[in-house]
Amino acid sequence: MRMSVIGCGYLGAVHAAAMASIGHDVIGIDVDAGKVAALADGVAPFFEPQLDELLQEGVASGRLRFSTETADAAGAAVHFLAVGTPQVAGGHAADLRFVDAAVDALLPHLRAGDVVAGKSTVPVGTAARLTPRIAQTGAALVWNPEFLREGWAVHDTIMPDRLVVGIPQTSAGEEAAALLRDAYAPAIEAGAPFLVTDLATAELVKGAANAFLATKISFINAMAEIAEAAGADVTLLADALGHDTRIGRRYLGSGIGFGGGCLPKDIRAFAARAEELGRGEAVGFLREVDGINLRRRDRAVQLVVDALGGLVFGRRIAVLGAAFKPFSDDIRDSPALDVAVRLRGLGADVVVTDPAALENAAAAHPQLGYAPHRDDALRDADAVVIVTEWDHYRRELTPEHAGSLVAGRVIVDGRNCLDAAAWRAAGWQYHGMGRR
């Protein structure tokens, strides 16, 4: 099937490459000429495991092309909208300028029977607003939200845990759903559920999923605050809760909280849209979810200050991690970098290391020190803070090796990813989040 992907940022580049890998003829469209040139050379402008290989394979096969001209999308049966929806400046709502601009550019090139499939995360009601404009060309608008995890995006596109398609309640909607079934045939044949809903429900699914995930993460972080006050251990508490099949253990890892370009801004936009609909009280709890998340960064900084006797000025602190999560170079709203910046603001000599995100971090925060290698960051450090749970730190770094490099055996485990007993046995002063 011939298809276009409008917007080749994180979502769009992955989607285009993945669709080409399962046999479709795909053209990716983006206004950024530098990005398009890199993608056309088989190089992703961001770090995502397996993506470069998929790009190179797709480009070499001729099934995957990239362009800055929306006119090159003409003739595709399906046009995926994958542009960004950042927060509006000075507010919490989603900025839909890029979605509207993409639709404006695409309209002259649509034919009767074409399908426009929205993948961007948008406030509920966006599809209803856009539908008349697209319908006048004879094309149909459906909403097909993405559920990608950074670091696993290729897998999540090719082998999704579910496919949701919101359609208009017309015969054109039924035909569009059938076309999307064909587009995703390999995943459906492999067992991925294909759920057809109305447009509003499909738009709500992504926001609701992120709201639930953020709530679960902030819940265990709230329990960490209580555990610290009570002298309990939040990791043991999470283990006990996780045995309840109604709750489950996944995403009950306490730490410095979530970040990235999706979860924080999406829950804020979700709450903002609820306010616009006159139902803000229904998701008022999301404001506290956001507040708990931000407080954990404060707590990590305070643990470092307390561990160093109340004063970090002039002390060398190794910060292990810059990306908001492992297997990514994304530093948007990164708790890891937030902790590093706050420590630097207190006068500490901060040295940050990360396997993938140093270039992005240095561009955003040139006031910090950086070391490309983990051991260089550890050398002569008075304290160590783990803020991104890369395997380089949680599995491959031993307390004995780290101890041979540092000046002081003080470690703050901002992700509760280390074996506390092993580090303490090696003579380290270990501090976890919500742990005794």
Please give the positions annotated as active site.
262
3-class SS at 251? coil
180's CB contacts (< 8 A; 6+ apart) are 78, 115, 117, 142, 144, 163, 165
Half-sphere exposure of 224 (CA within 13 A, CB side): 28
Asked whether the beta carbons of 85 and 122 are under 8 A apart, the reply is yes
Half-sphere exposure of 255 (CA within 13 A, CB side): 25
Dihedral of the CA atoms 354, 356, 358, 361 (nearest 10)? -100
User: 106 is written with which tokens?
Assistant: 């695409």
User: 334 is written with which tokens?
Assistant: 């990164």
Report how far residue 301's alpha carbon sits from residue 318's, in angstroms, rounded to the nearest whole number.
13
Burial of 416 by CB count in 10 Å (0-12 exposed, 13-18 middle, 19+ buried)? buried
User: 56 is written with which tokens?
Assistant: 């190179």
The pairing of beta strand 78-81 with beta strand 2-6 = parallel
Asked whether the beta carbons of 403 and 428 are under 8 A apart, the reply is yes
